[in-house]
Structures are given as C-alpha cells and as structure tokens.
Chains A and B, each alone.
Chain A
Amino acid sequence: MPAVVIADAGVAGPAGAQALHDAGHRVRPAGGRRVLLAPITITPSKPLTPSHLKGLLWTDVMYRATRPLAEVRYRYSHTTYHPTEQTLGFWEFLDRTQGDAAYQDLTEQEIGDHYVAFRAAGERAAARSLRPYADAVEQGWVHPASARILELWSEQYRALGLHDPGLRAHQPPGLGLDEMLDGLAARGLCLDHRRIGGPVHLDLTRHGLPLRQIVTADGRPNYLACALRELVPLAGDFDEIVLLYDPELDPDYQLLERILADLGPTVRRVPVGRVPIDGSIRSARHGGWGHHHAGPLLTAALAEYDGPAVRLGMRLYFIAVLGPGQEQSFRPELLRQCLGRAQRLLATGESGQLGTPALAGLLGRHRRDHTYVDPYRLTTSLLGKRAPAPSPELLTEVFV
C-alpha cells in the first residue's frame, strides 16, 4: 500500500494555524502509524559544514526509509526559527554594517564571513531594533542574505539527493507566541511573568527538571519557544514524534520531550553527534570551515564520480562510517573511499524487482520498538562483507 505523504512545502498560508490544523488532518490515516520527523533547522547564515551535512543526510535517510512503512511528515521550517535572536540579530547587524549589499552575488562563504563577524562582535541589539525584523518574519519576509543562502542550499540539496522539505517556502508555525504560552500556562507547563515585566520559563519542575527560560524579560523568544509554537499544535496529529538534535542540546530536548508527550504522542529523541574537524568540535559561528563545506565537497566529489555514486557515498560516509557519535574527525580520504564503494555497490546492484512488500520488510528490520527506521542500522547493512548487493528499489527509494 502506498504511503500517504504530505511534505510541508506549500502547506502554509496566511491563516497559519488553520492551515496547519488542516494539514494535520490531511496526514490522518490511510492505515499506518503517523510519524513526525522534527529536526532542528540550521540558521541560514553560513555554508553547510560536515556536521550539518551529517544531520541532513541522517534525517533524509530516516524520512525516505520510513515512508514505505508509515505516514511520515518531515517538518523543517526555517520560518519557524527565524524569530530567534541569532537570526534576527544577524540580519540587523548586516543592515547596520553593510547597508544595501548585493547579496544575490555572494557565495555562502562570503555571507558566512559576515556571520562570523557578527558573532565575534558580540553585540546584542536592543529588543526594539529587532522588532521590525520579527514582525516582517511573521508576514513571510526573509532577509536577502538568508534568502541567498537558502537558494544555494536548495541547489546543494538537489545535488545531494536530499528531499526538500520547503527550504524556501513560508511555513509559519501553527501558533503565535501568546497562544502557545497561554496553552502551556493553562497546563501548568510554563511560568509566564511577562505581565510583571519578567521572563517566561518552561516549568517541568514537577518532573524534577529545572526551569528553562524561553522568552527574555524584554520579549525575545529562544529556539525552544519557536519549536513549541510549531510542535505543540502538531503533536496531537501524530503517533510518534522523532526529535533529531545536537547532543549538546540534550537538556532542552528532555524538556521538549516531556511537553510533547503530555499532548499524546510517543516522543523519540535521536541525538546526532557533530563532526569534529581536526579533533575539535567547533560551532559554525567561529568560521574556519575552509574547503570542508558542502560546495567544495560536492564539486570535488562530482568531478570524479557520477551523481548517484556521490549521493550514496555521502550517505555511507556521514551515516555508516561516522555513526551516531562524534568521536571521529572529518576525514576527506574516507569520504572519497565511500564514494568509490558507492560506485561499486551501484554497479553490482541486483537488477531484479524487489516489490513494495519486500522492500517494506527489508526496511522494517531496522527498527526497534519505534516506528521510524534507524538510518545507522540500515546504512551499515549495506557495508557488511557478506551483505547481499542492495536492490535498485532500496537504493532509489532511500539512498540516491
């Protein structure tokens, strides 16, 4: 039975809450379990580093491998996270320091250099300076620097064979900040001191978890507040929500898990470790990405291998070789080996048709008690010495 898949691109409209509510109903059953994949987005301000590529490829394989088994929705909305201070502050910094720059002519590295300068300046714009940006985001506006980044990323997504979950679409969260906070307060899940000029905290103290500020006293929401505006209204429409995130954010994701689970679904936390460069895990805010980012990596790979080999090889390296942890530094020579391995796997792939039920059975083996397919288990299964050659359907459906 074909799965019913609603990708998010184009879901959003001016009546965001209603649109999302309706969208939620559209994924309702044609039988299988309903799964929501909700990875954290990458701030569109810089090149995609190996850490970012790993997270994106990991999520992509999970999404495509789970599709034959369940009704999957891959929610990845930049609109949702634009209101965070690191994005709005960057835009305000650009306009203040660069004025009318021609961002459409810049590379992601050049825009990334501005981002590094912004973070290095360490200035914090006044809340009133960010307000026009926050207001414009709610109307669908994106700063041209980030629009340019998202355009470049879209091209790289295509080259990497990544499903585009609506990178450049206006996908507002289903709830406004006030509505979301009122809902949580009514359930005793947040402590809202805005009326007395104070901040807002998530309150899971009944579970022994410490308060976590999500809106500052001067009204700036952090990424958790943004995530909750999006995920709270979606939670009731799904049986399983999979949160993919950087392990450094684990305490926050424990809070998120509790809140979403309170709304009904089973919540799975899947930390995906970062990729150290020369032994150290560096935030992209410090720059120093050199040639280790998506553009040059793709150019080098495509100069030597064809598209399918690059797409499969990237997945073999970033998923099977690096694994879920973050112990191994990025090694270009291993990536290159994986591209070669992918070329050979594609050349020896079985020519016979597997059939949808057989494919579902094969994919279903790479699960435990959850509905989603584990990308690591599935991808490593391709590399076993005695593993049979992968079927063309598996490769087409999931890896290339």
Chain B
Amino acid sequence: MSPLQEDLVDRAGRRVRHARPDLAERFDLSTLAGLLDAQQSVAAAASAEETLVVAVIHHLELAEWAGATCAFAFGLDPVAGARWRRSFTRTVFLAGNPANLRERFRFAHVAGDSTAAWTTPGPGPNASTLRRLLKLFDAPAGPPARPDTLVRLPGRPTTGHRDLYLATEGCSLADALVHLNHVLVEAVLDGLIAPGDSLTLRQVPRLIGIATPFAALRVVTDPHRPDRLKAAAGLTEETPVG
C-alpha cells in the first residue's frame, strides 16, 4: 500500500474510532477490508436509534451553503451533536422550500432567504413526515465551476482561516453536499472551525499535490478502483488567506 493510501486508511479508521469506539473492537480498522466491513455493519444496523439531520435545500450556491452549514453546526446542543456524531453525522438532503414548511415544522436553523434549513439531530422516525412530503435532493450534474471563494463564517471575525477543498472529478453536486457537510459539521463539533473564522472553498479535480496539510479529510472508496480510497473533500490546517 502506498503511503498516501496508508494515510487515507488511517484517517478513515480514526473517524470510525472517534464516532464508534465499540467498532474498533470488532473490526480491524487499520485495513481497507476491515473499514469496509465496519461500514457495512453500520449500514445494516441503521435503525430507529440512529440520529440524523434533515437538510432542506431550496436554492443552492455552494459557498453560501457551506457558510450556512457551519452556522447550523455552531448552534447545536453539545449532547445532540455528540449523538449525531455517533451516527457519523448522517444527514438526509431533501429538495424543499423552507418558507413553505415553517408553519408545519420546526427547524434548528434556516439560512438567509430560506435557501436551506436544518432539523435538530434526532431519531430517524422524527423526520418521516418531512421525508414523505419532500423528495431526495437530486442534482446529477457536477458542481458549477467557480473561482476560489472566501466564505466568512458568522460571529465576531477571527484570524482563523483554512482552505476547504472539494474533489470535483466524478462528483455530482448532490455528492458534493454530502462530502462537504461531513467535513464541515465534524470540524465544528471537533473545534477545528469556530464562529468568525473564514474558509476558502477551492474546487480541484483530485486532492493531490496540495501543499498545506489536511486537518480533516472525507475519505471514500475510489469509484475507479474499488480496492483503493480517495479523498473526496478536506479541510486544511490553518493557513493564511491567499
């Protein structure tokens, strides 16, 4: 295994251990096979005890949405956040207009102009009415090309800044939400991102050759090589804006 693959396996294993220490006792998280077994076990056991968030998407502009996702995560109750982390911050993305739903549903956070909204982390069945009313967010095209975009997070401005990378090759816009969401909310829950920080969203085909080390990575199976992993999105260590 190449050093890069070893690093990806190590990071994926750490994420599983962090969320579910019990799985480390049952699976060898230092190998790809063990990671995949652990992943299958989690998927098979998904139950009413699972904690999830429903994110409702009306209009989507990726940089604005990333900022709003952090704003949502900043407001999370720590206990609810910990429960959600244990379910690997599972999030269901649905197409919907929060402005049409606010009378019937209580959201934990609604983005400006009602472009998106998030429910409080809770048991899956709590979201069933919303899921019946709305449809899965469907955006098969890739994320629109963009220049590197500075995102200022809500709160008193700080000097904290990191780069937020998205690997666009083979990535639909719907995939992009999944990847960036995990990176961002887990970074907030882990204290890597704080109110008032800023991020630069950078879209590149693949996360290779990047000088600044990554503080957090979203690791998935490489669709071209199912025996390998790839980084789908990542948040760098602190770095100056530039």
Contact = CB atoms under 8 A, between A and B. Distances in A.
Contacts of A198: 95, 137-141, 173
Interface in A150-209: 188, 191, 193, 196-199, 201, 203, 205-206, 208-209
Interface string B80-109: 000000000000000111011101100000
A213 interface: yes
A209 B58 CA distance: 17
A191 B173 contact: no
Given A191-B96, A198-B95, A198-B139, A208 B104 contact: yes
Given A188-B100, A201-B95, A203-B100, A211 B139 contact: no
Interface in B121-154: 132-135, 137-141, 144
A197 to B, nearest CB: 3
Nearest to B114: A188
Contacts of B133: 205, 208-211
Nearest to B103: A206
Nearest to B143: A196
B138 A199 contact: yes
B58 to A, nearest CB: 7
Contact of B95 (A191, A206, A208): A191
Could you say which interface size class chain B belongs to?
Answer: 20 to 34
B129 to A, nearest CB: 9
A213 B135 CA distance: 9
A217 interface: yes
Contacts, number: 59
B60 interface: yes
A193 B138 contact: yes
Contacts of A205: 96-97, 100-101, 104, 133-134
Contacts of B95: 191, 193, 198, 201, 211
A211 B141 contact: no
A211 B95 CA distance: 9
Given A206-B103, A211-B135, A197 B173 contact: yes
Contacts of B138: 193, 198-199, 217
Contact of A210 (B58, B60, B132, B137): B132
A191 B141 contact: no
Interface string B28-62: 00000000000000000000000000000010100
A196 B97 contact: no
Contacts of B104: 205-206, 208
A29 to B, nearest CB: 35
A191 B133 CA distance: 13
B134 A197 contact: no
Contacts of A191: 58, 95-97
A211 B134 contact: yes
A209 B100 CA distance: 11
- The CB with the most chain B CB atoms within 10 A, among A197, A208, A213, is that of A197
Given A205-B133, A208-B133, A197 B97 contact: no
A205 B96 CA distance: 8
Nearest to A197: B141
A231 to B, nearest CB: 21
Contacts of B140: 197-198, 217
Contacts of B58: 191
B146 to A, nearest CB: 13
Given A197-B141, A211-B95, A206 B135 contact: no
A198 B144 CA distance: 13
Contact of B141 (A196, A203, A206, A209): A196
Nearest to A189: B100
Nearest to A213: B135
Contacts of B97: 188, 191, 203, 205
Nearest to A205: B100
Given A210-B133, A210-B134, A211-B95, A196 B101 contact: no
Interface of A: 188, 191, 193, 196-199, 201, 203, 205-206, 208-211, 213, 217
4 closest cross-chain pairs (CB), A and B: A197-B141, A206-B100, A198-B139, A205-B100
24 contacts: A188-B99, A188-B100, A191-B58, A193-B95, A193-B138, A196-B60, A197-B140, A198-B138, A198-B140, A198-B141, A201-B95, A201-B135, A203-B96, A205-B97, A205-B100, A205-B104, A206-B103, A208-B133, A210-B132, A210-B133, A211-B135, A213-B135, A217-B138, A217-B139
